[in-house]
């Protein structure tokens, strides 16, 4: 895809132009907020399967995200194989045990108390899909030469946000899980050294008795997260 002849500037007329009235815009913005505020991080998964095509479409959405110089410095590994998920769980729980037994430090552990998490991670096996998100420090031209990527954490974070929104829009729930450190994922998933695993997303349907921590519903009000200069 990154052939050298594609890197010269060429202008296209803006495709896909939107033309909403002010009232329609406000209605769309409100409807989207209404949808997104119903997204919840879920840790209790049912065994209802999710078709691979749904996961592929959601990752296609993630791939439309903006990125520094359009380098798209991300790679997604989607896992449904139970044996593979078990290996991820076992390795993640080993890291988590170190984390919860002191590696995290008191302040971090205190911050996690209201969320109710611990080193037991059944969702890594129960969820029908795990999506591991890798950030790429550099990319490669078609001829194999490498080039530096820019704004890698920002770009990958935005793509992950698109993915979370797409999964929610498709009626799925997810959990952004971050075992610390995540180096074991490169070896296990055969990803190269220049890629850094930033997150494991568990994806699926909630169990009938799924719970969420009460504090997770406490979102900062608009006047705390927004300053307007007009
Ligand atoms: C970068 C990041 C890392 C997270 N890591 C974990 C994690 O390792 N384990 C976990 O149970 N939740 C994790 N979460 C989920 C948060 O606890 C959750 O987003 C927060 O409590 C708010 O709940 P909500 O997503 O339902 O709004 C993480 C979220 C983010 C954005």
- Alpha helices per DSSP H over the chain: 22-36, 52-62, 82-98, 106-112, 123-126, 152-169, 184-189, 222-225
How does pLDDT run across 110-159, given as a tens digit for each residue?
888 888 888 889 999 999 999 999 999 999 988 889 999 999 999 999 99
Nearest atom (ligand 1) to Cα of 40:
26
Output the ligand 1 site: residues, CB below 6 A.
40-41, 43, 115, 117, 175-178, 212, 216
- Among 124, 176, 219, 220, which is best to mutate for testing ligand 1, by the most ligand atoms less than 8 A from CB? 176
Work out whether strand 146-148 and strand 138-140 pair parallel, antiparallel, or are unpaired: antiparallel
d(CA 189, CA 135): 14
pTM of the model: 0.95
**Cis peptide upstream of residue 118 (ω within 30 degrees of 0):** no
Q: Pocket of ligand 1, candidates 44, 109, 115, 181: which has the most ligand atoms within 8 Å of its Cβ, to mutate? A: 115
CA dihedral sign of residues 161, 67, 55, 185? negative
In tens, the pLDDT along 59-73 reads: 999 999 999 999 999
Minimum-distance ligand 1 atom for the alpha carbon of 219:
27
């Amino acid at each position: 895809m990154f052939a050298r002849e594609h890197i010269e500037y060429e202008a296209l007329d803006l495709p896909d132009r939107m033309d909403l009235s002010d009232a329609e815009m406000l209605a769309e913005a409100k409807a989207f907020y209404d949808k997104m505020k119903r997204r919840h991080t879920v840790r209790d998964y049912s065994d209802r399967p999710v078709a691979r095509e749904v996961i592929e479409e959601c990752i296609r959405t993630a791939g439309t995200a903006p990125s520094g110089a359009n380098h798209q410095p991300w790679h997604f590994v989607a896992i449904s194989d139970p044996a593979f998920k078990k290996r991820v769980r076992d390795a993640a729980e080993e890291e988590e045990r170190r984390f919860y037994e002191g590696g995290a430090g008191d302040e971090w552990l205190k911050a996690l108390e209201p969320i109710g998490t611990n080193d037991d991670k059944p969702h890594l096996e129960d969820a029908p899909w795990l999506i591991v998100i890798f950030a790429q420090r550099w990319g490669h031209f078609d001829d194999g030469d490498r080039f530096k990527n820019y704004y890698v954490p920002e770009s990958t974070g935005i793509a992950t946000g698109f993915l979370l929104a797409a999964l929610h829009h498709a009626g799925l729930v997810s959990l952004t899980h971050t075992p610390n450190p995540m180096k074991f994922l490169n070896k296990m998933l055969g990803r190269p050294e220049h890629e850094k695993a930033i997150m494991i997303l568990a994806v699926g349907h909630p169990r009938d008795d799924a719970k969420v921590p009460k504090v997770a519903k406490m979102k900062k009000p608009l006047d705390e997260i927004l300053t307007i200069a007009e």
